Amino acid sequence: MKDRKEATRRRWLEVLAEHRLDWDRAGAEHYWSPRLDTAPRAELRRIQNTKLAAAVPFLYENSPFYRRRFERLGMTPDDIRTVDDLPKWPVVDKREMIEDALANPPWGTYSAHDDALWAERGWMIFGTSGTTGTPRVFRYSQFDREQWEWANARALHSMGFRKGDCAMLISGFGPHVWIWGVSVGLHRMGIPMIPGGGLDARMRANFLARYGATILACTPSYALYLGRTMQEMGLDPAKTAVKTIFLGGEPWMGIPATRRRLEELWGARSVEFYGCTEASPHAGGYSCPHAVLPGGQVATHLMEDIGVWELVDAEKKAPVAVGQRGLTVTTNLNSESSPQLRFLVGDYTVFDDAACACGRTHVRAIGSFVGRADDIVTIRGIKLYPSQIEEGVRAVPGIGDEYEIVLATEADGLDTMTIRVEHPAPPADAAKVAEQVAGEVRTRCEVRVGVEVLRPGTLPKTEFKAKRVRDTRKKA
């Protein structure tokens, strides 16, 4: 068995190494790897099939979680040879991983990274925890770090990042993949960085004003907070050297009013990554020069030579056709430690596999990603996303950056939703503002809500990732 494990690992790493093109530097002005970024779709499928044929036996031999799952389903690695075979394998969800982590502390067995590998060439752990409070931790190797650098450099190059840029990265640099992924990609590209962790907003504002960063990387909520802090200091964020705001951690790119607010505040264009901790190391999705489509909708590329992306329906988790709305599922084909097989990421979007105006052939998520299934709010039988509410809130002129969604249960047992917003209107006009907000939300969500209009500065400022929903409802 040990020989089989070593043989499948060796073969998997060889296949990954064989498909590294333009490894050290960009191969063209507009594409880091022109042969991969603009490959015909038949070639992308060939690469996926080649990698999948090596990844499945590797997972079977090196991940007890996957071996048990194969046995439970009455399947063997020979049952999944190509992308067309993937629907035979039921999607893997977070619940399964949580159960595995509880049964096999502290790491779980869902990755192909064991203690021996960690001691030999371990790199870093990344973790995620949900509402259960049970963490799912992923150990990654030095080999993973190299793969991550390369894939993210390709994505950052697509965004227009070049030598001569300088990025300020504002994050606590905890065990979260996004900001670390940005930093290793920039390292591969030779783009200098200003670390913004451990500083308060005023110090960060002074760093931006003084040191000339051209790229600002943080959460959307913090970009708003930092910009307003600069204005309070008498500084204009739109007059800094920042020309690109690179934001992650919250749905925002697919919300036009929020995107416009951020871009106008900073006088800069905006770009995004898309991915998840479970299927690192790479940015699965990324912006291109033609990310904003006619009409204001956005499209986010998904890198298909390093992963297979699918959409499934919310109920049966069956694949949906291109052009239909579904939840994202990924099979990671770029990692030694975590090549997950049909992991349910769970963001709603629509795919388009037509060639992009930028020349890239990889599938695009139209409208970006406006919310995960986990984020759905159900009120009086109606399901909606916080991002839909944000669209309605941002549609009303004068509304401040901060808002809060409060869910409560009335004495008669009826669940209610109240949206608390800030607006400088005099008290006599507050009712009119509330009516506008309620109307915009009802148009998008088909639900009646209460609106409370507050004076500017009433709600606490969001300093990193926003938590907009406060659920005080009585649990059954």
pLDDT of residue 131: 42
303 found inside a domain = yes
- pLDDT value at 412 more than 80: no
**Are 385 and 333 in a shared domain?**
no
Each residue's pLDDT tens digit, 416-433 = 889 999 999 888 888 899
Residues in the chain: 476
Per mean pLDDT, which range of 33-42, 283-292, 422-431 is the poorest?
A: 422-431
- Same structural domain for residues 365 and 383? no
CATH code of the domain containing 155:
3.40.50.12780
The string of pLDDT tens digits covering residues 86-125 is: 999 999 999 999 999 999 999 999 999 999 999 999 999 9
Q: Considering the domain boundaries, does residue 476 fall inside one?
A: no
Q: Domains in the chain: how many in total?
A: 2
> Is residue 356 domain-shared with residue 418, that is, in the same domain?
no
Same domain, 249 and 174: yes
> How far is the CA of 202 from the CAs of 192, 195, 228, 459, 465, in angstroms?
22, 15, 10, 19, 18
Tell me the average pLDDT across 387-403: 87
- Both 158 and 250 in a single domain? yes
Q: What is the DSSP string of 244-276?
A: EEEE-SSS-TT-HHHHHHHHHHHTSEEEEEE--
The pLDDT tens digits of the residues spanning 114-134 come to 999 999 999 999 987 544 456
**End residue of a domain, out of 369, 390, 416:** 369
Give residue 132's pLDDT: 44
Q: Kindly report the pTM of this predicted structure.
A: 0.84
Distance (Å, whole) CA 178 – CA 175? 9
Domain termination site, one of 369, 395, 426? 369
In a domain, residue 33? The reply is yes
Residue 161 counted as domain residue = yes
Residue 476 has pLDDT above 70, yes or no: no
Residues in Cβ contact with 29 at an 8 Å cutoff, skipping those fewer than 6 apart: none
Q: What is the pLDDT of residue 464?
A: 64
The residue range of the domain holding 436 is 377-471
Within this chain, do residues 212 and 343 fall inside the same structural domain, yes or no? Answer: yes
Mean pLDDT of 61-77: 98
Rounded mean pLDDT, 157-168: 97
Question: In this predicted structure, what is the pLDDT of residue 300?
Answer: 95
Question: What's the rounded mean pLDDT across residues 168-196?
Answer: 92
Mark whether 381 and 246 lie in a shared domain. Answer: no
Question: pLDDT tens for residues 351-391?
Answer: 999 999 999 999 999 988 866 666 677 776 667 778 778 88
The predicted model gives 398-406 an average pLDDT of 89
Query: So what's the pLDDT on residue 281?
Result: 63
Q: 55 in a domain, yes or no?
A: yes
Q: Is residue 138 part of a domain?
A: yes
Beta-bridge partners for 312 = 319, 327
In this structure, are 396 and 301 located in the same domain?
Answer: no
Q: Per the domain annotation, does 72 fall within a domain?
A: yes
pLDDT at 384: 74
Identify whether residues 324 and 412 lie together within a single domain.
Answer: no
User: Comparing 31-35, 51-55, 424-428, which segment has the lowest mean pLDDT?
Assistant: 424-428
Distance of CA 194 to the CA centre of its chain: 23
Q: Are residues 384 and 328 in the same domain?
A: no
Average pLDDT in the 51-76 region?
98
CATH label of the domain that carries residue 422:
3.30.300.30
pLDDT digits (tens, 9 = 90+) for 38-50: 999 999 999 999 9
Instruction: Check whether 213 has a pLDDT greater than 90.
Output: yes
Average pLDDT in the 23-33 region?
Answer: 96
DSSP string of 399-447, one letter each residue: --S-EEEEEEE-TTS-EEEEEEEE--S-GGGHHHHHHHHHHHHHHHH--
pLDDT at residue 360, rounded to an integer:
97
Mean pLDDT of 296-313: 95
- Give the pLDDT of residue 463: 66
Residue that finishes a domain, picked among 343, 369, 395: 369
C-alpha span between 464 and 249 (Å, rounded): 9
Q: Do residues 138 and 71 share a domain?
A: yes
Please state the rounded mean pLDDT for residues 229-237: 96
Beta bridge partners of 167: 193, 215
In a domain, 309, yes or no: yes
One domain, residues 118 and 53: yes
Position 461 confidence tier, pLDDT thresholds 50, 70, 90? confident
Task: Please provide the average confidence, as pLDDT, over all residues in the chain.
Answer: 90
Residue 413 has pLDDT above 80, yes or no: no
